[in-house]
């Protein structure tokens, strides 16, 4: 039985253009994300992990199962953060927490982008909250996720080359700078409870 399926995206493949092209969505979501889900299904089949929620698998596994479960979770989270017509800046208590931590939204964006550019090799840049609502930026290599640190993930930028190579070639800095234009902060705010 295939427990996990790739859900349809809440936007069309071409809706995020020119920040992310339909071709990148086809490969990054349709092939890479599908691939992690296929491997996850194969690895859990017939094991006790089959009965666990994906988040629990991520928190309790290691090796190939962790890599594929975390990449499946990370990508579903990442692709759910975009919309062609969302709010492009945080409001309310998340905006206040960002201002408290970094002084301004613009300064937070600058630091987040700098971490994305500095991360060596493949990985993710995360904005997360602890259980007191304090915010932090964490770079993670490969499939790394703040779920492993017991933190609440709010926002992720994927800096694996497969996320940007079709549209931006080697220009990671340009890609991450453009991502702000498609982040839907209404979605991000809902993760900050
Ligand atoms: Mn990716």
CATH numbers and ranges of domains, the chain: 22-79 (1.10.287.990), 92-191 (3.55.40.20)
In angstroms, rounded to a whole number, what is the distance separating the alpha carbons of residues 137 and 123?
13
Predicted confidence at residue 130, as pLDDT, reads 98
Mapping DSSP to helix (H, G, I), strand (E, B) and coil, where does residue 157 land?
A: strand
What residues pair up with 123 in beta bridges, in sequence order?
Answer: 141
Predicted confidence at residue 120, as pLDDT, reads 98
Distance in Å, CA 125 to ligand 1 centroid: 12
**pLDDT tens, residue by residue, 85-127:** 999 999 999 999 999 999 999 999 999 999 999 999 999 999 9
Predicted confidence at residue 1, as pLDDT, reads 62
In angstroms, rounded to a whole number, what is the distance separating the alpha carbons of residues 97 and 113?
19
Distance in Å, CA 85 to ligand 1 centroid: 22
- Calculate ∠ Cα 58-127-36, nearest 5°: 35
Distance in Å, CA 110 to ligand 1 centroid: 22
The model's pTM: 0.97
Predicted confidence at residue 2, as pLDDT, reads 83
In angstroms, rounded to a whole number, what is the distance separating the alpha carbons of residues 175 and 188?
20
Residues of the chain below pLDDT 70: 1
Q: Is 126 exposed, middle or buried (0-12, 13-18, 19+ CB in 10 A)?
A: buried
Query: Left if phi > 0, otherwise alpha if psi is -120 to 50, otherwise beta: which for 150?
Result: left
Predicted confidence at residue 40, as pLDDT, reads 98
- Alpha carbon 110 to its chain centroid, in Å, reads 18
């Amino acid at each position: 039985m295939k427990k996990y399926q790739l859900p349809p995206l809440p936007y069309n493949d071409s809706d995020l253009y020119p920040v992310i092209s339909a071709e990148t969505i086809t490969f990054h979501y349709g092939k890479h994300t599908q691939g992690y889900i296929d491997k996850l299904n194969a690895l859990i089949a017939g094991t006790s992990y089959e009965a666990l929620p994906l988040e629990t698998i991520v928190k309790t596994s290691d090796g190939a199962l962790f890599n594929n479960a975390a990449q499946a979770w990370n990508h579903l989270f990442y692709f759910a953060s975009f919309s062609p017509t969302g709010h492009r800046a945080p409001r309310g208590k998340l905006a206040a927490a960002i201002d408290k931590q970094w002084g301004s939204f613009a300064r937070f964006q600058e630091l987040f982008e700098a971490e994305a550019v500095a991360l060596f090799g493949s990985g993710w840049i995360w904005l997360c909250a602890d259980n007191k609502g304090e915010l932090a930026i964490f770079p993670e290599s490969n499939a790394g996720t703040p779920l492993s640190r017991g933190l609440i993930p709010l926002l992720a930028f994927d800096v694996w080359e497969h996320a940007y190579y079709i549209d931006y070639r080697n220009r990671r800095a340009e890609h991450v700078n453009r991502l702000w234009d498609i982040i839907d902060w209404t979605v991000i705010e809902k993760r900050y409870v």
